[in-house]
Amino acid sequence: MKILVTGATGKLGSKVVEKLLQSVPANQLAVSVRNPEKAAGLVSRGVEVRQGDFDQPQSLVTAFAGIDRLLIISADGDNETRIRQHTDAVAAAERAGVKFIAYTSLANATESTNIMAPPHVATEAAIIKTGIPYTFLRNNWYLENEIGSIQGVLAGAPWVTSAGSGKVGWALQQDYAEAAATVLTGNGHENKVYELSGPLLSQEELVSALGAVLGKEIPVEQVSDETYAEIMKGLGLPDFVIPIVVGIQESIRNGSLAVESNDFEKVLGRPITSINEALTQIVNEISQTK
């Protein structure tokens, strides 16, 4: 059996690869990366590194050749670009004769009003259309997405949000990575949709947990989308990113990530990392990189 992970030098992809190497011989593992030089460390560990560029579909057909089980990690970019890249990757997998596809999707993707949902809807539909057995890993929200806000709090700033009372199923990337690795190496996951969501928390509840970790009260400022946009602009975010981050706040406020599920625990065979422990890990990592 040969497993391939796309985006293996990214934050999630690298964690998936490390998890796979704990249970799979290196010679059964391949990765597809745009720049193979960035994956030189994997070559030295016996992992096959293949060049595959989501903007060059033919390179993906070559990269996916001879692969039994494929993990497509969703790419970054605007929705239109991601839809093109993802559907090209699915077509390449079909042409290459891949026998199973796992895909990192979004919470409640097909019903979601989230600003980031359209590429996931299109990709899930494209995978189903191939007839190739699949697993959709509907990842709710990475706790690491909040590192900027956590750094702000550590510097003495309040927690600023326009997400209102909307709830989110935050979890560590490490837990999402382990779920992906489990699906790639296990049995009985064919044609399954897993809603991978941690316990649902509002912004206030997350900040309360962070306050407990830090041993201090953290003020939460609920602002309008317009004010949030101005604050993000003031922090130096590029203009094209502003509508995205504001749209995410709006999506959370509208409940698009409030998906209750115990699929995470079912896949992992254990509870996910608790929010206090997860926040402690992130705070420690931030402290170490200072």
pLDDT in tens, 122-136: 999 999 999 999 999
Report d(CA 258, CA 261) in Å as an integer: 10
Between vectors from CA 56 to CA 144 and to CA 174, what angle results, nearest 5°? 20
Helix (H, G, I), strand (E, B) or coil at 202: coil
Residues 179 and 261 sit within 8 Å (Cβ to Cβ) = no
Report d(CA 88, CA 179) in Å as an integer: 25
- Quick: pLDDT tens for 177-219: 999 999 999 999 999 999 999 999 999 999 999 999 999 999 9
Average pLDDT over residues 62-71: 98
> pLDDT value at position 289?
84
Distant-in-sequence, close-in-space partners of 189: CB < 8 Å, separation ≥ 6 = 102, 135, 183
Give the list of residues 6+ apart from residue 133 with CB closer than 8 angstroms, or none: 99, 100, 101, 190, 191
Please give the C-alpha separations between residue 233 and each of 53, 101, 203, in angstroms, as whole numbers: 32, 39, 21
Query: What φ, ψ does residue 172 adopt, rounded to 5°?
Result: -70, 145
Mean pLDDT computed over 44-60: 97
CA atoms of 31 and 110, how far apart (whole Å): 28
Instruction: Evaluate whether 9 touches 35 at the Cβ level (below 8 Å).
Output: yes
Average pLDDT over residues 98-111: 98
- Cα-Cα-Cα-Cα torsion 50, 54, 58, 60, nearest 10 degrees, comes to 40
User: Which domains does the chain possess?
Assistant: 3-140+172-197+259-272 (3.40.50.720)
Please give the pLDDT value at position 66: 98
229 pLDDT more than 90: yes
Give the pLDDT confidence of 82-91 residue by residue, as tens digits: 999 999 999 9
